[in-house]
Chains A and B, each alone.
Chain A
Amino acid sequence: MHHANHYYGHSYVMARYCGFPGDPPRIRGYLQHGWNIGDGLAPDHEYVPGVPSFVWSERTRRRAWSMGRRRVHVTGAPLAYLLAMTPPSPEPREGTIWYPFHGWEGQHVQGDHDRLIADIKDTEPGPVTVCLYWQEYRTASVRRRYERAGFRVICHGYRGGWWKDLDPGFLDRQLGELLRHQRVASNRLCSAVLYGALAGCEPAVYSDPMQLRDEKDLFGGRQRIRRQWAALHGTRVDPEVARAVAVDELGADRLLTPAELRALFGWSGSRTVPPLLEPEAVA
């Protein structure tokens, strides 16, 4: 139903978990696609009364309810499902995967990349993989700056637009990278850090958090994140505490069965998988 359900290949992961091998059936509701400290919806996605929300954690459900949202269900994050479907890797972990804070489509980050690089070099003991968002990755000057620092620079891909250029393998690639690394780090607490903590990485959040141009601190913003999840900030973080937080925030202890998810998503009657329609095709 909602284009954001397909971001990062989330709908594909959920469909696979529910036994739909191809394109996902239409999710009858809105699936949270990134960690946040509000009601689980992205700031640019208005709540529509009557449309169910599928959020990652019980805390998010409580917040959403307190904000007048109804028909809110805790499903857990798609990455938690993907991890549950992924057999343990025999490969040894090495180094750090580092996610510099990024803007999303149309947003611009203001900050000192050189200072960030220096902090990473001072802190990380092993090889570093820097994962850039597709915008920064395509910006040669930014990408080369990290490459010149001696880091391996990667991009998980494009998260997908309005039902266009979808990337069913995005989350698989991200989890694959996380499972290869010993540590995960960023200059802001974000989905990727929590994903890494859940996937067994030692997380860290440090250095200049940078900021978006005209950034608005919703729901208490950065200050609240630093206070409420203080245990995840710093160059060295207790991995057990971090894992417990990740389990909590990603709802990894609240995963639903395929039958339950099919019922919630309105997939129970889906015998055949309808193809995803491009906007042009709809028109």
Chain B
Amino acid sequence: MIPLLLGGEMPHWSDTDPAGGAALATLAAAARGHTLIVGPHSFPLIDAVQSRQVTVLVRGVPDAEALAARYASRAGFEVCCGSVAKLAAVPAYDTVLALDGLDRTGTTESDGLTWADGLAALLAVLRPGGQLLLGCENPAGLHRLLALSEEPGSGDWAAGDRGAPAGLPQLRERIVGAGMSVLRDYAAYPSPRSPRLLASSAALADRSLHGFFSGALRRAGTPEGPVLADPRPVAVQMLNSDLAADLAPGWFVLAAKGGQATLPEVVLATESGPIHHLNRTSQGWIQQATNPDAPSPVPTGRNLLDAPSPVPIGWNLLDALLDAARGRDLPALRALLTAWQGGELAGIDADEIVVDGDGRLHDLGLGESQDPGPALRHFIEAAPGDLAELIEAMAGIEAAAGGAAIRPGVEAFREVAAAHDRLARELGEARTTINWYEERLAARDTELARAYRIIALLKGTVPGRAATAVRGALRTGKKAARTALHQIRKS
């Protein structure tokens, strides 16, 4: 297969870090009919597109050649190379998939391709009734807010497009303004190109799901590389502040002229493998776990996920435990720890458990079960450090060996700074303690010296001398008696 050069292609260029991951594969699997994939997408993501006719457009010639080699034997597969602006404006596709967004669809040869230009180019090739699956990085997303300062990369040959959507509402408006309906929108964590969690803004706004999302956001992991702070607790705080959709690293939309979305409202790709889909029904939120390698639901080893099941409603146990620990509410902490470590879920991490209104614990099924020790250790590491031994005593078990090396868990300067502050505080406390001991020691020395002086003075008085003489006579008599006794025994 020889890539079709549309124009504006970049002979030397290859895009790194393409859109990918199991969560996005759920979206890719929704493609139907003749499908156009625009921008860099990983091979597994392209594999997830089941359409018989697939056209992929990339801008770098090496990428196009790699695609052509990889899919040489796949019938109905075509590779194009060039700028998205060079796409013939002919409605030829039933699905357009641009999960990497529009930022990497222009080339050095095209002058000032804006986000709006890119969207127009994609919509122009959609057939009536066609669907668009589009990704969009949030320029003010959590990943950017917590990123270290970086020099512009070789892909940043142009200034950022100020006309690109600055928020999820704007993204929806732009799609609707182009005559499409947004059937589904998603906030994506922890990265815009390879998210593990996709959640609709409606689902994120539903407080009854906060127990689930608190765990899911933590389980979604962290972006690669150094960051200013561990994004997981920040994401949970954003969830509680109703900012999780606004400050998500990226957004995805499913748009069409009409119809209804068939995609789930929430997609979570867990580290252990299963993909969780959440949907709203008349009975409430239902979750279903599937294995990405098998199309039908499969057992995960945790019975509650073998079949669709209600999503537990309540408070995330880790949040409840941390609240109790930080507030030094020891009765509440004891009750939670006893319920957790004394029950069947002792080997489940606290952020994978929801506490309902009656205090019952429910497994979210987000990870593998393990020994209680590591699970307790994970909580202890998140809790105030001075409570570690107390927590173990309350739980009635010893936490697994851990240590400072696990903390902060990601290369996070905020946590490093916190560790620095903690060590400085502990050093200060140790110095204060030493000073206090030295002061006590000095005081004792003073008291002792005073006592010696009193004794010396007392020895100089008449009664003192008499007492000394009596003591001397007694010592002499005692000695004489011992000698006499010794002589008698010898004789």
Contact = CB atoms under 8 A, between A and B. Distances in A.
Given A58-B111, A59-B109, A63-B108, A68 B154 contact: yes
B11 interface: yes
Interface in A228-269: 228, 248
A61 interface: yes
A59 B83 CA distance: 14
Contacts, number: 41
Contacts of A59: 108-109, 111
Interface in B1-43: 5, 7-13
Interface residues of A, number: 16
A152 interface: no
Interface in A25-59: 58-59
B108 A62 contact: yes
B5 A227 contact: yes
B155 A219 contact: no
B188 interface: no
B451 interface: no
Nearest to B106: A62
B12 A219 contact: yes
B168 interface: no
A228 to B, nearest CB: 6
A281 B235 CA distance: 67
A61 B309 CA distance: 57
Nearest to B9: A220
B61 interface: yes
Contacts of A65: 108, 154, 156-157
Given A66-B12, A220-B9, A220-B11, A228 B109 contact: yes
A67 interface: yes
Nearest to B158: A62
Contacts of B157: 61-63, 65-66
Report which residue of A62, A68, A219 has the largest number of chain B beta carbons within 10 angstroms of its beta carbon: A62
Contacts of A67: 12, 154
Contact of A66 (B7, B9, B13, B111): B13
Contact of B61 (A58, A61, A62, A220): A220
Interface string B136-156: 000000000000000000111
A145 interface: no
Contacts of B7: 227-228
Contact of B108 (A66, A220, A224, A227): A66
A58 B110 CA distance: 10
B5 A66 contact: no
Contacts of B12: 66-67, 219
B12 to A, nearest CB: 6
Nearest to A217: B11
The residue in B9, B12, B109 that gathers the most chain A C-beta atoms within 10 A of its C-beta is B12
Contacts of B111: 58-59, 248
A59 B155 CA distance: 14
A39 B57 CA distance: 24
Contacts of B156: 65
Contacts of A68: 154
Contacts of A228: 7-8, 109
Nearest to A221: B11
Contacts of A219: 11-12
Given A61-B157, A220-B61, A227-B5, A66 B109 contact: no
Contacts of A248: 111
Contacts of B158: 62
Contacts of A61: 157
A218 B12 CA distance: 9
B17 to A, nearest CB: 16
B352 to A, nearest CB: 44
A218 B10 CA distance: 11
A103 to B, nearest CB: 23
A66 B154 contact: yes
A63 B11 CA distance: 10
Interface in B113-160: 154-158
Nearest to A219: B11
Contacts of A66: 10, 12-13, 108, 154-155, 157
A222 to B, nearest CB: 13
A139 B183 CA distance: 72
Chain B CB count within 10 A is highest, among A66, A67, A218, A220, for A66
A248 to B, nearest CB: 8
B88 to A, nearest CB: 15
A250 to B, nearest CB: 15
Nearest to A218: B11
21 contacts: A58-B111, A59-B109, A61-B157, A62-B108, A62-B157, A63-B10, A63-B108, A66-B13, A66-B155, A66-B157, A67-B154, A68-B154, A218-B11, A219-B11, A220-B9, A220-B61, A224-B9, A224-B11, A227-B7, A228-B8, A248-B111
Interface of A: 58-59, 61-63, 65-68, 218-220, 224, 227-228, 248
Given A66-B157, A67-B154, 5 more contacts: A66-B10, A68-B154, A219-B11, A228-B7, A248-B111
- Which 6 A-B pairs rank lowest in CB-CB distance, beginning with the nearest? A65-B157, A62-B108, A62-B157, A220-B11, A63-B108, A219-B11
